[in-house]
Amino acid sequence: MTSAPPADGATEAQTGPADWPHTARELADDLATDAVEREQAGKRPLDEVARLRESGLLTLLAPAAHGGGGADWRTAYTVVRTIATADGAIGHLLGSHYFLSCSPRFFAAPDRAAGVERAFAAGQWYWGGGLASQEPPLTLTPTASGYLLDGHQWYGSGAGIADRLVVRAAVPGTGEPLAVLVDPAHPGLVNGSGGETFGRRLAAGGGVGFHSVPVAADDVLGSLCADEGVLSPFAGLAAPTARLVSAQVCLGVAEGLLGEVREHGRAARSAWQTFSPQPWPGGPPQDPYVLTAYGELAVAARAASALADQAVEALTRGLARGEELDDEECAEIAVLASAAEAAASRTAQEITTRALDAVGMPAALARHGLDRFWRDTRTHTLREPVAPRLREVGDYFLNGAHPPFSLPG
């Protein structure tokens, strides 16, 4: 049995510190001051996670009754997007943490989920790992005292710095995939490398090896089986919840770049100015090519943002329904989230490419660091391609087919 999220029906005023978006904005401003230098250094984001912890943002979604911030997913998405405007890798790292730290709500029994959330809030854990459907499951072998976990996860978000990992594993024989909570301090767990990527360098992602890692019976949270009837419709909302994290990261990075190139556009000569009949020395930009380009990118950003907001509202209503949610409602929310993720992904790719054209050659200067927005976006979208999402939307539109349960990386 799964449990409805106790905080999602509550208001900010009822549950604690109200101005989480303001807290996120302040932290984003702080991260932006040295974003270029930190990204180019490529160190493990220990300091960045410490800043998230000190701000209270790590436990934002944990219920106030369990010692957390008591916020809802609508607020969490706003926070992720705000952080991503300043640093896409840290936005991704925080968004993955939010989803993974809420996984007990979707897959564990209510009492167990509550116990995990109390320990999480008390310890201020950062959660890493991943439940991606494309990852081959680890092997979970029963023993007299619990289980032993073996295998290799090719990519886990924040795997190198996490206080707790949530991974996908299967018991030999049945092959049923299960969500498993792991303490990285256990012997037999080795953080490796998933290969250095050209973007999202501060997300602390990489491979993790498990060699007879002990797992208590209580730390097997529940099933991830996509077979019909195994998961409740409420548990099925885990997939769109994660999809909308991906959408917010994409939109945040795109908006972050737009904000930076706008400042360049106001102060610098246009890449197209030599072709423009209206130079603007000492005045506001009037180059028709520049204005048209920014207009198109602003429209694309607003359209993708509106679709994401619509999906967030639908998800929020679905979460509030808890175990009363039915399969058709879950499918509608999942399709809308897939559409929002696809739109955000394509918009972010367009903006992080074309916005640099508007800046021209100065965009190539390493000191500006504008390339990091493109690299973070492209790394993210390569791992989360839009084609499967578009197929789901099309199959639902034409045939009324419910999307398969599939979790992103």
Is it the case that residue 285 has pLDDT exceeding 70? Answer: no
pLDDT for 272 beyond 80? no
pLDDT for the residue 98: 98
**Contact (CB, 8 A) for 220 and 176:** no
Mean of the pLDDT values across residues 102-123?
96
- DSSP annotation of 208 reads E
Q: What's the pTM? A: 0.90
Q: Which of 222, 228, 262 is closest to 356 using CA atoms?
A: 262
136 vs 387, more confident: 387
Instruction: State mean pLDDT over 70-93.
Output: 96
CB 344 within 8 A of CB 380: no
- What structural domains does the chain harbor? 12-126 (1.10.540.10), 129-223 (2.40.110.10), 233-399 (1.20.140.10)
Query: How confident is the model at residue 7, as a pLDDT?
Result: 43
Res. 13: pLDDT tops 80: no
Taking a C-beta distance cutoff of 8 angstroms, is the pair 377, 348 a contact? yes
Q: Which band of pLDDT confidence, cut at 50, 70 and 90, is reported for residue 408?
A: confident
Q: What's the average model confidence in pLDDT over 236-254? A: 97
- pLDDT tens for 165-210 read 999 999 988 889 999 999 999 888 887 655 566 656 666 677 889 9
For residue 12, what pLDDT band results from cuts at 50, 70 and 90? very low
Contacts (Cβ under 8 Å, ≥6 apart) of 1: 109, 110, 232
Q: How far apart are CA 35 and CA 391, in angstroms?
A: 36
Predicted local confidence at residue 157, as pLDDT:
85
Q: For the ranges 90-94, 191-195, 216-220, 278-282, which has the lowest average pLDDT?
A: 278-282
pLDDT averaged over every residue in the chain: 87
The answer, yes or no, to whether residue 278 has pLDDT greater than 70, is no
Provide mean pLDDT across the span 315-326. Answer: 97
Q: Specify whether the CB–CB gap between 102 and 72 falls below 8 A.
A: no
Range name among 27-36, 219-228, 234-243, 281-290 with the lowest pLDDT average: 281-290
Least confident of 123-137, 335-349, 390-404: 123-137
The Cα 197–Cα 38 span in angstroms is: 15
Band of the pLDDT at 319, cuts 50, 70, 90? very high
Q: How far apart are CA 405 and CA 226, in angstroms?
A: 5
Given a cut of 50, whether residue 9 has pLDDT beyond it is no
* pLDDT of the residue at 187: 84
